[in-house]
Chains A and B, each alone.
Chain A
């Protein structure tokens, strides 16, 4: 059973701080990893993808991947109240369907 684990939160950070969201996955052969943002009552929106070990930066977002530790993280710099949402981590192995974690609820306090 392929699993993606996330702390459900809520994770509360003050405005302007760095939010750090973490995710672990069970399938060692997972190759591709994704972070989705989901506002309450809305559908998930893809914000980051990462495929190789190391960091990948896109604006205020940085995704980090460590395949040896089976660990993925998302850093949000200069957090804004508009970043308050649930963040879903997802992992893909070959031709199997994308597996999602339960999500971490982030609350950015103004």
Chain B
């Protein structure tokens, strides 16, 4: 079975631009979570979706938004990019409480 897939793997943007990151969960998993990981830190929670409904939102500005589609895939959108948004963005799908991460999208904002 395929694991969690994320695209793109790497992305370079400039300040003020917007970005869309995509994620497909493990087959059968209905919950998707997004995390941001800055170098040297642990993953920080951004959003969780279950059955297309937002179940939780972390302490991130409104520039961050997400959605989940009927096939349980998900998108994370970030508007008006700032230098501080440079990070590894991780998508995780879960069955019950265990999170399984995709390979991540490395976003660099110049």
* A residues in contact (CB < 8 Å) with B: 4, 8, 32, 34, 36, 42-46, 49, 88, 90, 92, 95-103
Contact = CB atoms under 8 A, between A and B. Distances in A.
Contacts of B33: 97-98
Contacts of A45: 101
Contact of B102 (A4, A43, A100): A43
Given A43-B104, A46-B99, A102 B42 contact: yes
B64 interface: no
A44 B43 contact: yes
21 contacts: A34-B98, A34-B99, A43-B103, A43-B104, A44-B90, A46-B100, A88-B43, A90-B42, A92-B97, A95-B55, A96-B56, A98-B33, A98-B99, A100-B35, A100-B43, A100-B44, A102-B40, A102-B41, A102-B42, A103-B41, A103-B42
Given A34-B98, A43-B104, A101 B42 contact: yes
Contacts, number: 49
A81 B107 CA distance: 30
B42 A97 contact: no
Interface in B37-54: 40-45, 48
Given A42-B103, A43-B103, A43-B104, A99 B45 contact: yes
Nearest to A96: B56
B33 to A, nearest CB: 7
Size category of the binding interface on chain B: 20 to 34
A101 B41 CA distance: 8
A101 B90 CA distance: 15
Contacts of A100: 35, 42-44
B58 interface: yes
A109 B21 CA distance: 38
A96 B55 CA distance: 9
